[in-house]
Structure 1
Amino acid sequence: MTGTYRGLTWDHPRGAEALRRAVMEAEAPRCEIVWETQSLEGFESAPICDNAARYDLLVLDHPHLGEALGCGALLPLEEVFTSADLDRWRHGTVGESFASYQMDDRSWALPLDAATQVSVAADPAIDIPTTWSDAVALARDVDTVLPTSGPHLFLTLCSIALANGEEPGQGDEFLTVEAVGEGLQTIGAFIDPHRPPPPLHNPIVVLEQMSQPGGPVYCPHVYGYVNYALTGLPRPLQFADAPTGRSGRRGSVLGGTGIAISSRCRPDDGLVQHLRWLLDDATQCTFIPQHAGQPSATAAWRDPLVDRASTGFYSRTWDTIDDAWVRPRFNGAVAFQRSASARVREAVLGHCDARLLAAELTRLHRTSQGDR
């Protein structure tokens, strides 16, 4: 293909600014890409097959892979890049950021951005808790918030189970009754029953609130956005590793984004070189963080200049992202996450019985995999 490529990313500076600026960057390989955006909610749940039919490049989350492969929506990266490229990115990105985009012995997206759930405080005087029990105790004394819309309560429930030594979906039940009960009790400590959260209450909304004077000062579990930690902001937020539980693990669910090439696309050399440049360590250590991005390269996360500019965001959350859990990626995983998230939100806000919720999560998980 020659001419202009169409790309779809998500509507936040972290998701769009660096990609759009790269098209105009003199040092970047020349390539005409028009980047359009969708909301965070669309990024989390919009049908990937529909988007792939309309766009050449897709910024996606790893749970979409099963759905994408089921409809033949993506080109395997092995058909576009060299094995040396793929090996370099495999070994040079943080945690499971590259591996999360591998299925069926192929690689399906370039790990442009790395993120996971961590803790955050707006007041530097706060000693951010390192355990869930201490987080619950702190919430009694300070204005605390937790994202409640979209998949986020469900993902926090999974993270608490991980911190206590139980991996979701590995047994006959998606989560045991005990894990669900502990998770609901912990989550309930951070939500005011007399002040229902708004319908749109995602990590961006939470971090925006915390960055404003008079906003909440503590959140125990939210996807990290380096944009809110930068030096020079009126109220830079302080990020830290996610809380641990009984297992000692910092329970957290991997996020981040990858750039996939749709099967309708015929990438020319200009596009290949442009994408390769975006993943280059030098770009990840300079251009990406300088243009509101959150790099995936280990070199950037370990770079003292990058870390200093973000008030320690990378060094203070490294342990968490290095051990973050990769969500299910089977065909039906996104639909399961959407349905399970609705049930968990209903349970948290309606004080549902843990036994009923555990049974419902197991039923949804089995049904989503075709096990009736």
Structure 2
Amino acid sequence: MASIILNGITWGHSRGITPLLAIGQRYSELHPEVEIRWKKRSLQEFADFPIEKLTEAYDLLIIDHPWVGCAAATHCVLPLNEYLPSDYLQDQANNSVGASYESYVYNGSLWALPIDAATPAASYRKDLLPQPPQTWDELLQLAKAGKVAVPGIPIDVLMHFYSFCISFGATPFANEYEVIDTATGVQAIECMQQLYSLVDRRMFDCNPIAVAELMSSTNDFWYCPFAYAYSNYSRAGFAKYLLHYADVVALNGKQLQTTIGGTGLSVSAFSQHKSVAVDVAKMMVDGEMQRTMYMQHGGQPGHRSAWTDATANELTNGFFNAVLPVMDNGYMRPRYNGYLHFQDHAGTPLRTCLMDNGDPAKALQLMNELYRQSIHQNSTSLSV
């Protein structure tokens, strides 16, 4: 019987749990004295319960990078740069998928290893739509035909809002008083209203997983312009119909810059077996492991060598090659301690505005009020 038991917490999708179970099993085979027990929670459960509280009960935690400001303030997880070899960390930095590695570095410390990388990308049913839209106008035409699905829950419309602000020439969070200037923010919301006024109302209750499930199980929707990408739906046998992925559409003459997600693997500062937990994390995020067992068991690696690997792309019908340019062009959200208060709430007035064709200026005003509150607030959530 194992003398060391490590408890881990992750999110409840095949991408989030299956590779961890597989590698955990292999670690225990190599180290019989260690047993790793993973528990899965829904994304909403992560949002509803502060991750800093979870560190008291779990040794290993899958986290979202905007939480690292809280990690740095509370020191409830280990600064992994003080526990891992410099050559290992350099390999991780050199093989970052977009800003994945950088997103877990805050105040000079590394609070998680980039175990999973993701960003909103376009997905489509190649059997129904041989050539996906390339421009915003082409997307709107397809939406008018009722063939477009797009996530519409608060967290996702907020992530898309950042992309549209950037496309109109301004980067969000440039100061501590407003998310974005009024002219740019209103223009971004008005552009989003063009699309969301054309899609099925069901979309306002769909997250990226729900959209992917709809597209891969029915013939109702042929194309999604931007949703956090899941390589699982590009793998034969995972769903009834295969999804293919592509770059997002161009607006104002250039591709939208989507908001990166993905997850990191942290080690609790309260763990009774810190050195073992760090060793497990080191194995799980190692380049060779990410490229082989992690990817093969449904994972979406955070190590770049997996994304450029021929076998990985063959298994996923070119998913990684298609999404890598979108990842490399991705926008990284703020990570200050308190940002998650804004993220947890600011999508609600935006979603209401999109659902009801409301006043963009009013929605933006509410978002700015929440932003100013967030400068002095703490919160926790997970978005992938």
Query: Counterparts in 2 of 1:1-372, with a 5 A limit?
Result: 3-25=4-26, 29-30=30-31, 31-44=34-47, 46-124=49-127, 125-171=129-175, 173-191=178-196, 196-197=201-202, 200-232=205-237, 233-246=239-252, 248-370=254-376
- Please report how far the alpha carbon of residue 336 of structure 1 lies from its aligned counterpart in structure 2 after TM superposition: 0.5
Distance in 1, matches of 2:253 and 2:30, equals 47
Distance in 1, matches of 2:354 and 2:365, equals 15
- Please report how far the alpha carbon of residue 319 of structure 1 lies from its aligned counterpart in structure 2 after TM superposition: 1.1
Q: Are 2:197 and 2:355, in contact at CA under 8 Å, matched by a contact in 1?
A: no
Q: Are 1:45 and 1:338, in contact at CA under 8 Å, matched by a contact in 2?
A: no
Q: Are 2:100 and 2:114, in contact at CA under 8 Å, matched by a contact in 1?
A: yes
Distance in 2, matches of 1:317 and 1:299, equals 14
Unaligned runs of 5+ in 1: none
Q: Are 2:151 and 2:206, in contact at CA under 8 Å, matched by a contact in 1?
A: yes
Distance in 1, matches of 2:29 and 2:186, equals 51
Distance in 2, matches of 1:44 and 1:320, equals 26
Distance in 2, matches of 1:193 and 1:88, equals 45
Q: Are 2:143 and 2:198, in contact at CA under 8 Å, matched by a contact in 1?
A: no
- Please report how far the alpha carbon of residue 144 of structure 1 lies from its aligned counterpart in structure 2 after TM superposition: 1.0
Change (3 A) 1:6 1:355: same
Q: Which amino acid aligns with 2:305?
A: A
- Please report how far the alpha carbon of residue 182 of structure 1 lies from its aligned counterpart in structure 2 after TM superposition: 3.0
- Please report how far the alpha carbon of residue 29 of structure 1 lies from its aligned counterpart in structure 2 after TM superposition: 4.5
Q: Give the structure-1-normalised TM-score.
A: 0.92
Change (3 A) 1:144 1:344: same
Distance in 2, matches of 1:324 and 1:45, equals 27
- Please report how far the alpha carbon of residue 363 of structure 1 lies from its aligned counterpart in structure 2 after TM superposition: 2.0
Distance in 1, matches of 2:285 and 2:157, equals 32
Change (3 A) 1:46 1:326: farther
Cα distance per residue 1:311-332 (max 9 Å; x no partner): 1111111111002111111111
Q: Are 1:111 and 1:296, in contact at CA under 8 Å, matched by a contact in 2?
A: yes
Distance in 1, matches of 2:52 and 2:144, equals 45
Q: Give the structure-2-normalised TM-score.
A: 0.90
Cα distance per residue 1:42-90 (max 9 Å; x no partner): 3355311111122111101011112233332111002321222111111
Higher mean C-alpha deviation, range 359-368 or range 240-249? 240-249
Higher mean C-alpha deviation, range 157-166 or range 201-210? 157-166
Aligned residues: 370
Q: Secondary structure at the match of 2:266?
A: strand
Distance in 1, matches of 2:99 and 2:30, equals 28
Q: Which amino acid aligns with 1:7?
A: G
Higher mean C-alpha deviation, range 165-174 or range 10-19? 165-174
Distance in 1, matches of 2:258 and 2:361, equals 23
Q: Which amino acid aligns with 2:116?
A: D
Q: Which amino acid aligns with 2:18?
A: E
- Please report how far the alpha carbon of residue 158 of structure 1 lies from its aligned counterpart in structure 2 after TM superposition: 1.1
Distance in 1, matches of 2:70 and 2:288, equals 33
Distance in 2, matches of 1:27 and 1:265, equals 18
Q: Which amino acid aligns with 1:135?
A: L
Q: Which amino acid aligns with 1:274?
A: V
Change (3 A) 1:268 1:195: closer
Q: Secondary structure at the match of 1:338?
A: helix
Q: Secondary structure at the match of 1:8?
A: strand
Q: Which amino acid aligns with 1:190?
A: L
- Please report how far the alpha carbon of residue 249 of structure 1 lies from its aligned counterpart in structure 2 after TM superposition: 4.5
Q: Secondary structure at the match of 2:220?
A: coil
Cα distance per residue 1:282-312 (max 9 Å; x no partner): 2111111211100111111111221121111
Distance in 1, matches of 2:200 and 2:230, equals 26
Change (3 A) 1:182 1:130: farther
Cα distance per residue 1:145-203 (max 9 Å; x no partner): 11112400111111122233221111453123333333333333333579533774111
